């Protein structure tokens, strides 16, 4: 498909408007709240400026519109294909969120809580096993691998 100026037409999956929305969906999947505007802007710049691997059958826009659990899907997809566009996007969002002062407590623990730490670790282990199983099922349902 040729666009204005006889160059390739821009892929609508990578338009700034869509990437801005995509950043919010990925941020919500990881942190349970809307992404700050600054993170969304930085995400758009990062994705536009990076070489992102492609997975032909992965239509992130369609998966988001269907309400698919992106976190579960990413975990399962990472086990099948370590370098994939969904994992790359989650990493970008994580890196951008990690440096924000309001997320400090999500990434750094300053006090020792031995019992609470082990309990939290156990809960996250169970949650990860559940998310992996769910993600593997989503891969089959959406025919992604």
**What string of DSSP letters covers 42-79?**
HHHHHHHTS-----TT--HHHHHHHT--HHHHHHHHHH
CA 133 to chain centre: 18
Residue 13 confidence (pLDDT) = 60
Q: Note the pLDDT of residue 9.
A: 44
Quote the Cα angle for 141-61-64, to 5°. 60
Q: Residue 125 is encoded by which pair of tokens?
A: 């282990």
Distance CA(66)–CA(86), nearest Å, equals: 16
In the chain, where the domains are located: 4-141
Section 108-132 average pLDDT: 92
Predicted pLDDT of residue 7: 44
Q: Which two tokens stand for residue 59?
A: 């239509």
Query: pLDDT value at position 30?
Result: 93
For residue 74, the model assigns a pLDDT of 95
Which stretches of the chain are DSSP H helices? 16-31, 37-48, 60-66, 70-80, 85-98, 104-107, 114-141
pLDDT of res. 31: 93
**Which pTM was predicted?**
0.81
- Tell me what pLDDT residue 145 has: 72
pLDDT cut 90: percent of the chain above it: 62
For the cut 60, the answer to whether the pLDDT of residue 5 exceeds it is no
Query: Tens of pLDDT along 7-16?
Result: 444 555 668 8
Digit-coded pLDDT (tens) for 39-85: 999 999 998 887 766 666 688 889 999 999 999 999 999 999 888 88
- Per-residue pLDDT band for 28 (boundaries 50, 70, 90) equals very high
């Amino acid at each position: 498909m040729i666009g204005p100026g006889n160059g390739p037409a821009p892929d609508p999956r990578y338009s700034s408007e869509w990437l801005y929305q995509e950043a919010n969906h990925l941020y919500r999947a990881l942190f349970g709240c809307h992404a700050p505007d600054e993170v969304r802007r930085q995400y758009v710049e990062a994705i536009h400026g990076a070489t992102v691997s492609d997975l032909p059958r992965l239509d992130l826009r369609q998966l988001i519109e269907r309400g698919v659990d992106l976190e579960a899907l990413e975990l399962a997809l990472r086990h099948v294909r370590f370098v994939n566009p969904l994992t790359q996007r989650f990493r970008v969002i994580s890196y951008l969120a990690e440096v924000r002062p309001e997320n400090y407590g999500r990434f750094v623990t300053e006090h020792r809580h031995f019992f609470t730490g082990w309990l939290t670790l156990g809960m996250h282990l169970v949650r990860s096993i559940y998310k992996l199983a769910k993600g593997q099922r989503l891969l089959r349902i959406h025919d992604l691998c």
